[in-house]
Structure 1
Amino acid sequence: MTTGQVQPRRLLPVSPRVVFVGSGPGESGLMTIRGADILANAEIVVYDTHVHSEIVTAYVPQATEIIEAAQLGATASTRGRKLAELARPDKTVVRLSSDDGILFTTTTAEAAVCRKAEVEVEIVPGVGLSAATSAYTGTALTTNRVRSVRFIEAGPQTHVDVSRHRNTTHVLTGTTADHEQALRALLDDGWDEDTKVLLGWGISTTDQTSVETTLGQALTMAQTGGDRMVVIMGQGVESRGALSWFETKPLFGWQVLIPRTKEQGTSTAEALGELGAVGTVVPTIAVQPPRTPTQMEKAIRGLVDGSYEWVGFTSVNAVRAVRMWFEDFGLDSRSLSGVKVAAVGGRTAAALIDWGITPDLVPDGEHSARGLAAAWPDYVDDIDPMNAVLLPRADIATEVLVAGLLEKGWDPDDVTAYRTVRASPPPAPIREAIKAGDFDAFLFTSSSTVRNLVGIAGKPAPTSVICCIGPATANTAAEHGLRVDVLAEEANLTSLIDGLVEFAMSAREDDLAAGTTPTRPSQKRRRKKA
């Protein structure tokens, strides 16, 4: 299930009701299906800004009223009373809670007040922070010898709560300040300074950091951690190396800028996410109708009347443009029956399939106008009824494809279906991050993306990794003073991302060989400034 695309199921009407939902450790994809379903149907959502902002963005419809929990009061009883009031007379109110929503939270206290006020209550548990820390750091909480786990709220009284039983794993959760007090209390209580511990923060997100250290050193290191920390004390800490799967992803923590439209860039960001990176989509072009629609109107009539043997799509935008033209004329994909359809590559083919059309031709090799021309069959007079081919395109000509089709005996009709114009500049924080080197890498998929990004946002910092999909794009990048670090072996996004992965892994190996801790390009720049 894709984050933020939950299909809401209408819930049975209730009046009134408060649903307490555990939000998980941080990553929005770890929200339970039940929790996401309830959020999609809630009329009011109460949340903690510093914990639940990503969850709200991913799962709560824009029309839903959202309220910060702090506005309902400082105590559980006050918040519970206000929640009950919000639910009357017949509303469903969702109260988001941290992690599993149960351990070390005020969920049950707030729920009890709601029940006392005769408001229906439901509690939906989420993924617990302790379990998530174990899973995302590869640290076993239980083994064949460790048969018990103690969950401890960090604080000054921790030394009273913690048992010294050797076959027990202790998991402490709380803020940085709470952990400082807890660690001091443990040391004052006689715990061995050399006791192995794991410190973790940002669990399940690309900001995750986990450090193996000793109890004596942990006090100093804890002061540099995030607001929400976890400390694990147990045998699993020493044997976690083989299970450290999350932070060892090839692009873990990398910030990658994708200069494409939101529709085109989303799938790229998802692919990068699987590799541990965060993809930020910055549109560099905007798509607009052609200045004179006459040619395209004539072409649409020709498609419907059977005047074309083929139609060739050279981009996702071309598919969208023709689809919009069809819809404006009250037509759908069935009007293309009898016309052979070609797509320049996999993503263009996917856009056609989404429209209900299975392309007849997709090049196996290079996904470009050149590759499509090479894959296009020759015109055979005895077999093909006609040699007319429609090429709906942007206001940028497709000479390579036109020349290739002419050479093979076809008569291409090169028609402007849409115009591409330079997009508006991105927000100031994005522009500043580009120039400051906060982005580790840039994925350029055409010469226009290079020119337009530099034009609307400025030139990337010298430390950023510049990745180009082909020689023409690389030449444009060089013309703009950019050092090209990655050139895709094949002209497609998969090859481009593979090239970035290879670059990142090679840089990591170089750092290790030099005896230094592997760092991302953005970290190396900040370290030099310091």
Structure 2
Amino acid sequence: MVYLVGAGPGDPGLITVAGLDRIREADVIVYDRLISERLLDYARADADLIYVGKVPGQVSGADVSHDQDAINQILADKAREGRRVVRLKGGDPFVFGRGGEEAEALRAAGIPFEIVPGITSAVAVPAYAGIPVTHRGVSASFAVITGHEEPGKPQSAVDWSHLAAAVDTLVFLMGVKNLPEIVTNLVANGRPETTPVAVIRWGTTPEQSTVTGTLADIAERVAEAGLTPPAITVVGEVVRLRENLSWFEDRPLFGKRVLITRTRRQASELARLLAAQGALPIELPAIEIEPVADTVPLAAAIDRLRDDGYAWCGFTSANAVELTFEHLAERGLDARSFGGTRVFAIGPATADALRSHGIAADV
């Protein structure tokens, strides 16, 4: 079985509940370049993680991971082994994600599949830049267009005259390289040069950056800012709303990189709190907590604790709490072992850890 799962636009919090469930259950995860790798933390420890990301403008040579036919083959081969395969794709699989092609290949190979839609960057990224794609009195329609079509293509799949005249908001995906041609085509087909434009790079992530302008100057502004892919382009009067609706880039720690050196288990919660304030947390655990090799003294202390041999028992860290209760569990014991012994905790995190095991610290 293969699950084609949309990972959302970059912020790992934007994946769907169904998508996260599939990641947790997967035997194999075949993932793209633009997904948040923090989502892979939810995978089982024994799951195979296979990277098949494609970098625009780069050819990988012998690396078949960048070839679509090879990706299709990987999906089919792993599924035939009887494994649950998740194909994790940025945004939504069916919005310029080649999910339809992969589903066709699976159907042709006789492999069952399931589609798990994701939040497309075409809507989420403008929202994180404070730009609604529709707005009463401003925009009643929007279109999502590939910006990756080769300039000068003899028969363009894009109806420029219709887009320029009949659609209020235009969202171009993957269009930074071709931005000058996009602008030229829109203006040549009647879109006013004064039309507002926004180009948003790495949208929904702490690295998000936004350049605004008009059709007359946006290509020059983007070049001056050194904006490179991945980015999307929004064309339309709704861009003016950003001045009043910008929120994501206004958070107190936006754009700050924060190195976290705590243990991985403790770092994850801190990383979540920092990310909520706009920071880019980088987890680099510098310490690792391991149980003592000689557990005889601890076992003796627990035996004495159960016999009410202590008036007080103190914990200096949450790690000490967890290791103690792991040892209790190994012996089939729990918080009842503390009996009438009073307990003190140093620090609120230690007190919280005790509370999670059913003990309210006396001090």
> 2 CA distance for matches of 1:188 and 1:261?
58
SS in 1 for 2:164: coil
Q: How does 1:196-207 map to 2 (within 5 A)?
A: 196-207=196-207
1:27 to 1:302, Cα distance in 2 relative to 1, 3 A: same
Partner of 2:20: 36
> Which one of 252, 255, 260 corresponds to residue 253 of structure 1?
255
Partner of 1:100: 92
- Asked if 2 retains the 8 angstrom alpha-carbon contact of 1:159 and 1:185, the reply is no
1:65 to 1:324, Cα distance in 2 relative to 1, 3 A: closer
Task: Report the alpha carbon displacement of residue 79 of structure 1 after superposing the two structures with TM.
Answer: 4.8
Partner of 1:163: 163
Partner of 2:48: 65
Gaps of 5+ in 2: 55-63
Partner of 1:26: 10
Q: How does 1:203-352 map to 2 (within 5 A)?
A: 203-223=203-223, 224-285=226-287, 287=289, 299-324=301-326, 326-327=328-329, 331-352=333-354
> 1 CA distance for matches of 2:160 and 2:74?
35
Which 10-residue stretch deviates more, 341-350 or 65-74?
Answer: 65-74
SS in 2 for 1:164: helix
Task: Report the alpha carbon displacement of residue 294 of structure 1 after superposing the two structures with TM.
Answer: 7.6
> 1 CA distance for matches of 2:305 and 2:123?
58
Q: TM-score, normalised to structure 2's length?
A: 0.82
- Asked if 2 retains the 8 angstrom alpha-carbon contact of 1:34 and 1:124, the reply is yes
Cα displacement string for residues 158-179 of structure 1 (whole angstroms, at most 9, x for unaligned residues): 5726523376111111142133
- Asked if 1 retains the 8 angstrom alpha-carbon contact of 2:23 and 2:40, the reply is no
1:342 to 1:216, Cα distance in 2 relative to 1, 3 A: same
> 1 CA distance for matches of 2:126 and 2:135?
12
Q: Sequence identity of aligned pairs in percent?
A: 33
Partner of 1:398: none
1:192 to 1:159, Cα distance in 2 relative to 1, 3 A: farther
- Asked if 2 retains the 8 angstrom alpha-carbon contact of 1:202 and 1:226, the reply is no
* Greater RCO, CA 8 A, separation 6+: 2
Q: Which has the larger radius of gyration?
A: 1
Task: Report the alpha carbon displacement of residue 194 of structure 1 after superposing the two structures with TM.
Answer: 2.6
Task: Report the alpha carbon displacement of residue 319 of structure 1 after superposing the two structures with TM.
Answer: 2.1
Work out whether 1:110 is the aligned partner of 2:109. Answer: no
1:166 to 1:240, Cα distance in 2 relative to 1, 3 A: farther
- Asked if 2 retains the 8 angstrom alpha-carbon contact of 1:80 and 1:114, the reply is yes
One-letter amino acid of the counterpart of residue 112, structure 1 = E
SS in 2 for 1:265: helix
> Would you say how many aligned residue pairs link Structure 1 and Structure 2?
343
1:331 to 1:119, Cα distance in 2 relative to 1, 3 A: closer
Cα displacement string for residues 400-429 of structure 1 (whole angstroms, at most 9, x for unaligned residues): xxxxxxxxxxxxxxxxxxxxxxxxxxxxxx
Task: Report the alpha carbon displacement of residue 93 of structure 1 after superposing the two structures with TM.
Answer: 2.6
1:92 to 1:316, Cα distance in 2 relative to 1, 3 A: closer
Task: Report the alpha carbon displacement of residue 22 of structure 1 after superposing the two structures with TM.
Answer: 1.4
SS in 1 for 2:203: coil
- Asked if 2 retains the 8 angstrom alpha-carbon contact of 1:104 and 1:153, the reply is yes
> 2 CA distance for matches of 1:108 and 1:292?
57
1:284 to 1:134, Cα distance in 2 relative to 1, 3 A: closer
One-letter amino acid of the counterpart of residue 118, structure 1 = G
- Asked if 2 retains the 8 angstrom alpha-carbon contact of 1:184 and 1:219, the reply is no
One-letter amino acid of the counterpart of residue 208, structure 1 = Q
> 2 CA distance for matches of 1:265 and 1:118?
43
SS in 2 for 1:52: coil
SS in 2 for 1:216: coil
One-letter amino acid of the counterpart of residue 111, structure 1 = A
SS in 2 for 1:226: coil
SS in 2 for 1:152: strand
1:161 to 1:348, Cα distance in 2 relative to 1, 3 A: farther
Gaps of 5+ in 1: 1-16, 362-530
> 1 CA distance for matches of 2:197 and 2:280?
29
